[in-house]
């Protein structure tokens, strides 16, 4: 099944964000409002359009079309509060995709260059062969704006040698990734005000 997840694990150091995520999961699961109205699956054979949350249409290896009911979100989505960088938790699973959105700056400011390298190496080790790592690095100007949030951040900011524009090089030359590409620097048609702090 294309783009259908068997499991999703969300990890964040902030317990409050994990509680909010669990609350949102319960709310969405109760109302059944999984996909927005704009997310539709179009079946050209009978000209019907259905919401993604009702059915998933997938192509089987033999070319036949198969319809599957989407599983309950509680069966596939879970959240864990954890300091991923410093955690000694031994993950036994490997993942097809790992997303790291709007956190590299915070890891870098709190744990310095060693923290960012640790993050990249852990992610690489958790990906299945051929897996995808999607990262949203923040620009150096954002680091500068947030460097005074704590003494640790201020100290690490001054000691950082691996700037965000070097992440691609680090992932390829030091960590072990075989390819890296910039998907986009700015989404066309993105909502004004979406730029992260």
Q: Which residue, 54, 81, 108, sits at the end of a domain?
A: 81
User: Can you give the residue range of the structural domain that contains 6?
Assistant: 1-81
pLDDT at 68: 55
Determine phi and psi for 100, rounding to 5 degrees. Answer: -130, 90
Distance, in Å, from the CA atom of 41 to the CA atom of 180, rounded to the nearest integer, reads 30
Tell me what pLDDT residue 188 has. 60
What six digits make up the tokens of 22? 């669990």
CATH code of the domain covering residue 125? 3.40.50.150
Q: Which of 105, 113, 110, 157 is nearest to 136 (CA)?
A: 105
* The pLDDT of residue 106: 97
Looking at residue 193, its pLDDT comes to 44
Q: What is the pTM of this model?
A: 0.72
- Cβ atoms of 159 and 113 within 8 Å: the answer is yes
Distance, CA of 61 to CA of 68 (rounded, Å): 15
If DSSP codes are grouped into helix, strand and coil, which group holds residue 135?
A: strand
Look at residue 121 in the predicted model and tell me its pLDDT. Answer: 95
Kindly report, residue by residue over 97-135, the tens digit of the pLDDT: 999 999 999 999 999 999 999 999 999 999 999 999 999
Residues 1 and 66 in one domain: yes
pLDDT at 190: 53
Give the whole-angstrom CA distance, residue 112 versus residue 184.
26
Report, as ranges of residue numbers, the positions in the chain whose pLDDT lies below 70: 1-3, 32-71, 184-197
Torsion on CA atoms 28, 18, 104, 82, rounded to nearest 10: -140
Q: Which residues pair with 94 in a beta bridge?
A: none
Per-residue model confidence (pLDDT) at position 77: 92
Task: Provide the 10 A C-beta neighbour count for residue 3.
Answer: 7
Structure token digits, residue 125:
């080790």
Query: For residue 134, what are the β-bridge partners?
Result: 99
Closest CA to 125 of 87, 162, 76, 181: 87
Residues 71 and 104 occupy one common structural domain: no
Which positions ≥6 away from 158 have C-beta within 8 Å?
none
What total of structural domains would you count in the chain? 2
Residues 48 and 98 occupy one common structural domain: no
Of 65, 81, 97, which one is at a domain's C-terminal end?
81
- How far apart, in whole angstroms, are the C-alpha atoms of residue 117 and residue 134? 16
> Which pLDDT belongs to residue 17?
95
DSSP one-letter code for 181: -
51 lies in the same domain as 109: no
Q: Residue 180: what pLDDT?
A: 87
């Amino acid at each position: 099944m294309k783009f259908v997840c068997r499991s999703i694990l969300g990890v964040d150091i902030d317990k409050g964000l994990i509680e909010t995520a669990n609350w949102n999961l319960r709310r969405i699961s109760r109302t059944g409002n999984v996909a927005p109205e704009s997310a539709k699956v179009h079946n050209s054979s009978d000209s019907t359009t259905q919401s993604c949350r009702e059915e998933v249409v997938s192509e089987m290896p033999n070319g036949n079309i198969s319809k599957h009911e989407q599983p309950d979100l509680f069966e596939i989505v879970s959240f864990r509060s954890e300091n991923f960088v410093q955690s000694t938790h031994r993950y036994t699973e490997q993942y097809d995709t790992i997303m790291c959105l709007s956190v590299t700056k915070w890891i870098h400011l709190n744990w310095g260059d060693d923290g960012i390298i640790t993050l990249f190496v852990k992610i690489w080790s958790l990906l299945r062969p051929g897996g995808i790592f999607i990262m949203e690095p923040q620009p150096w100007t954002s680091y500068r704006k947030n460097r005074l949030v704590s003494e640790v951040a201020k100290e690490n900011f001054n000691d950082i040698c691996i700037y965000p524009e070097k992440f691609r090089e680090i992932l390829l030359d030091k960590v072990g990734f075989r390819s890296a590409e910039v998907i986009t620097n700015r989404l066309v048609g993105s909502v004004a005000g979406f730029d992260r702090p």
